[in-house]
Structure 1
Amino acid sequence: MARSATVVGSGPNGLAAAVALARAGYRVRVLEAQQTAGGGVLTKGLTLPGFRHDVCSAVHPAAHSSPFFRAFGLDRIEWIRPEISFAHPLDDGRAAIAWRDLDRTADGLGADGRAWRSVMRPLNRDLEGVVDFTGHQLLRMPRHPLTAARFGMRALEVGTPAIRGTFRTEEGAALYAGVAAHANTRLISLAASGAALLLLAHAHSTGWPYPRGGAQAIADALIADLRAHGGDVETGRDVRSLAEVRDDLVLLDTSPRLLLTDPDLPSDYARSLSRYRYGPAVAKVDFALDGPVPWSNPEVAASPTVHVGGTLDEIEASESAVAHGRVTGQPYVLVVQPSVLDPTRAPEGSATLWAYIHVPLNSRLDPTELVLTQLERFAPGIRDRVIAVHATSAADRAQRNPGEIGGDILGGSFTLAQALRRPVVSRTPWRTPLPGVYLASASTPPGPGVNGLAGWHAARQALHDAGIKVELGDLFG
């Protein structure tokens, strides 16, 4: 009799796990609470007909370097790979631009060009080593120890107040700060610097690509492969207790809190999970515009990803306030304007705009006005372009997706301690004490990012424990 597996949650990690198990010979079903599969890579019409908005993630730097997606086949998705990875507008029409070309970026940073090259070049030259080091749990010997050491040294350099001596211009410091703020944690910290360096290593190598038509293309490609190997996805299946799921293998692309619903969970493991922390969260707003964003700087207008928040000091103040439970009047705003290079995302002559700010857990704040005020600072007249708005508070996100605890989209707060304890300290953090039950979400290593690696690691661990030793080459060769 064929062995079977159930995956709870259809985000990219859950689907990666499902594909791996199905290719290894398991009968796989994926249970998804929403009516459409995809989790963090859903694309929907949230505003007006013809406008397609990414519900959660929009740009995917880690996908192109991911060992899982490279084995799966990146060519199954039509990718847009911008020449500008991201832009950072400043006052008076100035802007710092991160080109995929490292030298072009450094040349544009003037006095900070030499420092930018010094920090970035060793990492962008060995992206494979960076991904190997950051793409697993940290309690292992990296296969590229020299690159891992360089990564750690640079994280120390830019993860402390010494960064102000490394990047001395407003442009250089702001360009770094905008990337570090992706970590949604205290800005000048080792955790934020680690996240920033990983993203910057991609920015100057494979770039920051995104799928034509929306992030949903990633889920669609994975689901097609799953079905081709006998698996299926059941939507509208909101699993609130492990008692609802029994199978040879159960993999959870969910919050680890679902494990607490099982009375057989050992008390020491349950206590460890209770110490795992979440937050801050995000509040998001999607705009339908009747034309492109009127940025003061034309190079910003050409960049799909834009970091809005002003100087390093301003972004640090914004992120510090959120860490202390407040939102400033000038928050850091992560902006994506996919229509710049993807005309399928909005009717001709129009544009789709995606933006979010960081907020405390379970916040009910509508971010629309704060986002528009910040955008007006660098793109005067954008208010006049808005024809429809769809706002989602952190509390709304938690209600829609129980896996986003309090609106935390990272699967747990991103701190140095939780990089080691995600969600528990273990050399095999995907395995739980419950027989046949594994965690396959961003709450396990390597953490957040659309790379499928948490799902692949969980599936490989489950297969290994079942006596089936496989690598990606065995499944996709």
Structure 2
Amino acid sequence: MPKAVVVGSGPNGLAAAVRLAQHGVEVTVLEAADRLGGGARTTEKLVAGTLHDECSAVHPTAVLSPYLRTLGLERYGLRWRHPAVMLAHPLDDGTCAVLRRSVEETAAGLPGGDGKRWARVFGPLAAHVDATAEDLLGPLLRWPAHPVHLARFGLRAVPPAALMRRWWRSPAAQSLFLGVAAHVMHDLRAPMTSSVAAMLIAAGHRFGWPVAEGGSQAITDALTGLLRDLGGRTLTGRRVESAADLPEADVVLLDTSPRTAARIFGLPARVDRAYRRWRHGPAAFKVDFAVRGGVPWRSPACGAAGTVHLGGGPDEVLRTARDVHRGRMPSAPFVLVGQQYLADPGRSAGDVHPVWSYAHVPHGYRGDATAAVIGQIERFAPGFADRVVALSARSPADLARGNENFVGGNILTGANDPFQLLFRPRLTPHPYDTGLPGVYCALRPRHLVPGCTG
């Protein structure tokens, strides 16, 4: 029986391990940490009984994934839960833009003619997002299976988000779009920065932005359960520093950053140069809260939303993205808030609820952004700080220590500039081939964004 080793147990690595095991390969997964899951882990902390996702939290692209949908992970306890509202983006004037699963309901909530424009842009994308995902989540240097749908997506994805915002006239609609685009963690004036927004919004309108019941750890546990039933095994506490640390295998898959892959193996010169040039972008500063009674949002829509984007109006979203990309820390950073307990009440302990958040900060940021995160929440939810029972902050350095792929606190495992968005990890028809027989770099596909999927 052929043997394979997968280095890294994030969802991408575990899915690859399952795929190999389905084809009769004897698979071993090695994980440096003492728990499986990479960014898809959940911990009980702060207050007994409250469950906090360590990184990934909301999963539109997980339910979109053509492969994951074939696995029947519900047999292993995975249950998707949907909040009443997918996303809310409040503004300082008291209005709030809302993204709902229905294109029509989202459009109806936007002012003036922006609803019709929203439906015109995202209705066709959502209708064909299944086919589009089949092409987008694989290498792009190949003939697409669905060229017409991919071309339609490209028309929405290629322009800079700062330009694409002009489709809409109201601050509400522009902010709603730009807030999702900000997940790319790049200067939104750059080409291709509309791509992540186009995918996440289309996926949301088709499948929703669900959370995993019991926490993102449930995704890891389900994939691990399936892998073990297929004969695979997992080993934790097994850091791989070089090829000498690997057991004998016919195939090696590296669920790592390209730079780590280059460190482990002596790669051919052209591949080694490409991998060592791999760039890492802005970072996250994560703060978990235990909040008595939940967040006292000024807008009722925020109180029903699984995800809340705190970035202010469209010009502010653009400015903070530019500043963070340039290495400047904004006084009021873009903050994402996750209220997974609204769809999954079992994560709470009585009236104390886990609230997940992180701010976009410069790569390797060494300051403490806790007060800035609290300030942004207070801006749209006066009295929030008085309800906080406990909190836990993780800096970019903390995130990098917890997961070697998060270099400088960059939870996307790489800068999302136009080149790296298109060609991951290098420009070739076979991007995952390292040039060594049987050794592959299983880098996360471009639209699987932690915080949105893990």
Q: What residue is the counterpart of 1:213 in the other structure?
A: 214
Alignment of 1:219-368 (within 5 A): 219-245=220-246, 246-262=248-264, 264-368=266-370
Q: Is the 8 A contact 1:294 1:382 kept in 2?
A: yes
**Cα deviations by residue, 1:62-97 (Å, 9 ceiling, x for unpaired):** 111211111112534111023422111111321001
Q: C-alpha deviations, 1:107-156, integer Å up to 9, x for none?
A: 11021112111111110111112212321121122222111111111234
Match of 1:135 in 2: 137
Q: Aligned residue for 1:93?
A: 94
Q: 2:188 — aligned with what?
A: 187
Secondary structure of 2:392's aligned partner: strand
- Whether the 8 Å contact between 1:62 and 1:450 is mirrored in structure 2 is no
State which of 375, 381, 384 in structure 1 corresponds to 2:383. Answer: 381
Residue 15 of structure 1: how far off its partner (Å): 0.5
Check the 8 A contact 2:196/2:447 in 1, yes or no: no
| SS, match of residue 361 in structure 1 | coil
Distance 1:231 1:389 in 2: 38
Partner in structure 2 of residue 461 of structure 1: none
Q: Which amino acid in the other structure matches residue 190 of structure 1?
A: P
Equivalent residue letter for 1:51: T
4+ residue segments displaced more than 6 Å:
none
The 8 Å contact of residues 167 and 173 in structure 1, kept in 2 or not, is answered as: yes
State the TM-score, normalized to the length of structure 1. Answer: 0.91
| Conservation of the 8 A alpha-carbon contact between 1:411 and 1:448 | no
Deviations, residues 32-63 of structure 1 (Å, cap 9, x unaligned): 11111111100012322111111110000011
- Distance, in Å, in 2 between the alignment partners of 1:18 and 1:263 is 20
2:44 matched to which residue of 1? 45
For the residue of structure 2 that corresponds to 1:93, the secondary structure is coil
Contact 1:183–1:191, Cα closer than 8 Å, also in 2: no
Q: Which residue of the partner structure matches residue 408 of structure 2?
A: 406
Match of 1:437 in 2: 439
Change (3 A) 1:108 1:262: closer
Structure 2 letter corresponding to 1:177: L
Q: Which amino acid aligns with 2:21?
A: A
Q: Counterpart of 1:19?
A: 18
Q: Distance in 2 between matches of 1:21 and 1:156?
A: 34
CA–CA distance in 2 between the matches of 1:172 and 1:63? 26
CA contact (8 A) 1:138 1:419 kept: no
Question: What letter corresponds to residue 250 of structure 2 in structure 1?
Answer: D
Q: 1:305 to 1:161 in 2, by over 3 A?
A: closer
Native 8 Å contact 2:55 2:450 kept in 1:
no
Distance 2:203 2:366 in 1: 34
1:78 aligns with 2:79: yes
What is the number of residues matched between the two proteins?
449
Aligned to 2:166: 165
Distance 2:368 2:233 in 1: 37
1:127 counterpart letter in structure 2: V
Question: CA separation in 2, counterparts of 1:447 and 1:242?
Answer: 30
Q: CA deviation at 1:375?
A: 0.5
Report SS of the residue matched to 2:62: coil
Say whether the 8 Å CA contact 1:410–1:447 is kept in structure 2. Answer: no
Aligned-pair CA distance for 1:164: 4.7
1:437 to partner: Cα distance: 1.0
2:59 corresponding residue in structure 1: 60
Counterpart of 1:373 in 2: which secondary structure? Answer: helix
Alignment counterpart, residue 390 of structure 1, candidates 389, 392, 403:
392
Q: Which residue in 2 is equivalent to 1:475?
A: none
Shift in alpha-carbon separation, 1:34–1:413, aligned structure 2, 3 A = same
Instruction: Decide whether aligned partners of structure 1 residues 41 and 322 sit closer, same or farther in structure 2, where only a CA change above 3 A counts.
Output: same
Deviates more, 1:33-42 or 1:131-140: 131-140
The superposition leaves residues 421-456 of structure 1 with CA deviations (integer Å, 9 ceiling, x where unpaired) of: 3111111111111221111122xx4453479x99xx
Residue deviations 1:368-424 (CA, integer Å, cap 9, x gap): 111110001111110011111111111111122112111111121011111233111
Contact 1:89 1:308 in 2 (8 A): yes
Deviates more, 1:415-424 or 1:290-299: 415-424
Does structure 2 retain, via aligned residues, the 8 Å contact 1:362–1:398? no
TM score, norm. by length of structure 2: 0.95
Q: Which amino acid aligns with 2:11?
A: P
Change (3 A) 1:166 1:75: same
Q: Partners in 2 of 1:266 and 1:218 — Cα distance?
A: 35
One-letter amino acid of the counterpart of residue 153, structure 1: L
For residues 5 and 313 of structure 1, the distance between their equivalents in structure 2, rounded to whole angstroms, comes to: 49
- Cα shift readout 1:174-214 (whole Å, capped 9, x = no counterpart): 10011000110112333220000000101211110111110
Inter-partner Cα distance in structure 1 for 2:299 and 2:169: 22
User: Secondary structure in 2 aligned to 1:364?
Assistant: coil
Q: Give the Å deviation of 1:105.
A: 0.8
Q: Could you say what secondary structure the match of 1:351 adopts? A: strand
Deviation at 1:161, TM superposition (A): 4.4
Question: Identity of aligned pairs, percent?
Answer: 45
- Any stretches of 5+ residues in structure 2 without a counterpart? none
CA RMSD of aligned residues (A): 1.8
- The CA distance in 2 between the partners of 1:154 and 1:230, in whole Å, is 43
Q: How far, CA to CA, are the matches of 2:303 and 2:353 in structure 1? A: 12
Taking structure 1 as reference, are residues 350 and 412 closer, same or farther at Cα in structure 2, changes over 3 Å only?
A: same
